[in-house]
Structure 1
Amino acid sequence: MSRINIKRGATVWYFPDGYLPQKVNSGKMEGHEALVLLNTHETIAHVFVDFYFEDKPPVKGIEIHVHPERVLCIRLDHPEEIGGVVIPPLCQYSIRVRSDVTIIAQLGRLDTTQTNMAYYTTMGFFENT
């Protein structure tokens, strides 16, 4: 059986609308944003994440490894998962994701600040370099 060489995803992804929801203690669900990275290759993906802000300099080059043929969900309200970067709630920011192999990247947000909580995911703008 021969293998088909298919590009899976892209090497650079952009998410311009980051905005962590305010934390509230009204239920079991915790408001957050998450960056989800899928590596369908048989080799590790070396990923670098850059954060851009409205009112301060960017934080660049946070290295993350996604194991072969695995998905990694990174909570953006957990600094220990993003190289110690603290993103305060209600702070506008953007993300650039760069990888040495093609990956799939997605951003998700769970907002629990209202009785009818809102959850959405979005695919970013991508390019191959």
Structure 2
Amino acid sequence: MSEQSSHQARGSHVWFIPDGYIPPESSGSLESHESICVLNTSDEDAQLAITVFFEDRAPIERIPAIVPGRRTQHLRTALLQRDGEAIPKGVPYAMEVESSIPVIVQYSRLDSTQPANALMSVMAYPLQS
């Protein structure tokens, strides 16, 4: 493939992250947080729609995000919102990430609630189309 040819979109259109939880407290200088890490290998921008599901309330539907072509983006879940509604800290949740083109999705959590920090990173579950 020559450098002038277009780059192919790789991955899946739909991804699931079943275990989300933003710790309500942090210790030390690092803030506990979570991120959806998205890789877009295409020349085309990926238009994302993120739906957040909860145990005891209606979901936050189709939060928009854009990942530019040939880029990666780390979307902090605490900053995601739609119509002023955001994911609350200390509440379990899950997410569905839909994309206009195939992308790769990873999920990371930094838990700094104790002096010994924990970092977890896992691949999201892709829906095979």
**Could you say which TM-score interval applies, normalised by the shorter chain?**
0.7 to 0.9
1:113 matched to 2:113: yes
Aligned to 1:40: 41
Aligned to 2:81: 82
| Offset of residue 22 of structure 1 | 2.1
Q: Which amino acid aligns with 1:82?
A: Q
16, 33, 37: which is aligned to 2:18?
A: 16
CA distance in 2, matches of 1:124, 1:107: 6
Percent same amino acid among aligned pairs? 34
Deviations 1:38-83 (A, max 9, x none): 11100111111000000101111111111000111111112xx433
Q: Which amino acid aligns with 1:39?
A: N
Aligned residues: 126
Query: Contact between 2:8 and 2:42, CA under 8 Å: does it hold in 1?
Result: no
Deviations 1:88-127 (A, max 9, x none): 2220100000011100111110001111110111111111
Indicate the RMSD between aligned Cα atoms, in angstroms.
1.9
Query: Contact between 1:74 and 1:82, CA under 8 Å: does it hold in 2?
Result: no
Gaps of 5+ in 2: none
* Residues 59/128 of structure 1: CA separation in 2 closer, same or farther (3 Å cut): same
| Offset of residue 128 of structure 1 | 3.7
Q: Which amino acid aligns with 1:36?
A: C
* Residues 7/128 of structure 1: CA separation in 2 closer, same or farther (3 Å cut): farther
CA distance in 1, matches of 2:12, 2:33: 25
Aligned to 2:62: 61
Q: Which amino acid aligns with 1:98?
A: E
